[in-house]
Amino acid sequence: MLIGVPKEIKNHEYRVGMVPASVRELIAHGHQVIVEHNAGIGIGFTDDDYTSVGASIRQTPEEIFAEAEMIVKVKEPLAEERKHIRDGQILFTYLHLAPDVPQTQDLLNSGAVCIAYETVTSAAGGLPLLAPMSEVAGRMSIQAGAQCLEKSRAGRGMLLGGVPGVSPAKVAIIGGGVVGSNAAQIAVGMGAQVVLLDRNIDVLRRINVQFGAAVETVFSSKDALERHVLESDLVIGGVLIPGAAAPKLVTKEMVHQMKPGAAVVDVAIDQGGCFETSKATTHAEPTYIVDDVVHYCVANMPGAVPHTSTFALNNATLPYIIALANKGYKKALADDVHLLNGLNVYRGQVTHRSVAESQNLTYVDPKVALGL
């Protein structure tokens, strides 16, 4: 198969879909790989690093999209990339379609086979291609939140861990999955007072086993959520209903009642965000203020640490890229129900139930769509 790796064009996005070591593996499997000029330069990989393992370089994204049978990316294709996606082409990347109507329409119109990293599942019940980036974003969320609490960012001017004789900041983490547990780890490490809310008791049990008394676990009723959000200096949003738009758990009124200079980091912004006041921001301008509350809502947080993130992501995606390339999409999807769960759009049809429901579109069972 001919596989194409374009350079990412989202604001301050320096990750790349495949590192040279992965390209080498695909070439060892008998495939061809074309890489856009300087696609890996943000993490120090030159064109020579790619050609030395057997890839060919193309100067423009147009050439990559025109030639490749499968496109391997990191972020969802932006409007100018979507113009190039072709009928029958495989697109393997994060998509986050539920809150993104224009992207969904363009992908439906393209006729492409669009497999979203974030809805691929695993036998263990997790989301193996989302997890590595959620680990990164969860850990970063506390770093970002700590900066938002600084006075220069319009924060309350509080140190997360306090100092002897002065209380630490209170951090509420909504959602105890991969983002939430990684955020808790860093917040505890920095000495904050940490409360974690989830609606799944098994998740709260796991957090309790992991952190003991260092993290207070709370069942996320409306009442408890409101109380802890209003009491906190920093609130992290890390909820997910796979494939669906994030539930708006923190209302405008709650934000209005938060302490002046408190901060929120809405990691779930890539699925639309779980604060009513959230709107996606970029690394160039990561924060804005609503009702004296600092909001950090960057939709590609791991892009800020592309070295760590690219390797973490590529370690997880490589086996699936190899399966798609070796078997072709039909057999790869037929053989692996977990990869099939990643199929969001198939040649003009929405094949993920939550995406379809989020946008009132007709859902077609992926097995029916593929004729399996």
Ligand X SMILES: NC(=O)C1=CN([C@@H]2O[C@H](COP(=O)(O)OP(=O)(O)OC[C@H]3O[C@@H](n4cnc5c(N)ncnc54)[C@H](O)[C@@H]3O)[C@@H](O)[C@H]2O)C=CC1
Structure token pair of residue 2: 């001919």
Largest CA-CA distance found in the chain, in angstroms, rounded: 67
Query: Which residues from 8-67 bind ligand CC(=O)C(=O)O, rule CB under 6 A?
Result: none
Strands (E), 110-177: 113-116, 170-174
What residues from 252 to 291 belong to the interface with Mg ion (CB under 5 A)?
291
Binding mask 88-107 for ligand CC(=O)C(=O)O (x = CB under 6 A): ------x-------------
Q: 3 in helix, strand or coil?
A: strand
User: Is 268 known to sit in a ligand binding site?
Assistant: yes
- Beta partners for residue 195, in sequence order: 172, 216
The catalytic residue among 266, 270, 295, 352 is 270
Per CB under 5 A, 49 contacts Mg ion: no
Is residue 291 part of the annotated active site? The answer reads no
**153 annotated to bind ligand:** no
1 labeled part of a ligand binding site: no
Measured N-to-C along each axis, helices 131-148 and 306-335 cross at an angle, to the nearest 10 degrees, of: 150
Q: Is 270 considered catalytic here?
A: yes
Buried b (16+ CB within 10 A) or exposed e, 231-243: ebbbbbbbbbeeb
CB of 250 to ligand CC(=O)C(=O)O, least distance (A): 20
Gap between the Cα atoms of 303 and 90, Å rounded = 23
Q: Which of 1, 19, 35, 203 binds ligand X (CB under 6 A)?
A: 203
| Residue 301 marked as a ligand binder | yes
Least distance to ligand CC(=O)C(=O)O, CB of residue 300, Å: 4
Task: Please provide the size of the chain in residues.
Answer: 372
Task: Supply the minimum distance, in Å, between the C-beta of residue 158 and Mg ion.
Answer: 15
* 174 is an annotated ligand-binding site residue: no
Tell me the C-alpha distance between 172 and 215, whole Å.
10
Question: Taking CB under 6 A as the rule, does residue 345 contact ligand X?
Answer: no
Q: Compute the least distance from the CB of residue 94 to ligand CC(=O)C(=O)O, in Å.
A: 5
Find the binding residues for ligand CC(=O)C(=O)O in span 221-280 (CB under 6 A): 270
CA distance 109 to 82: 10
Residues at the contact surface with ligand CC(=O)C(=O)O, assessed by CB under 6 A: 75, 94, 130, 133, 270, 300, 302
Residues at the contact surface with ligand X, assessed by CB under 6 A: 118, 127, 130-131, 133-134, 137, 174-180, 197-200, 203, 220, 238-241, 246-247, 249, 267-271, 299-302
Residues annotated as catalytic (active site), given as ranges: 96, 270
> Which residues fall in the annotated binding site for NAD(+)?
134, 198, 220, 239-240, 267-270, 298-301
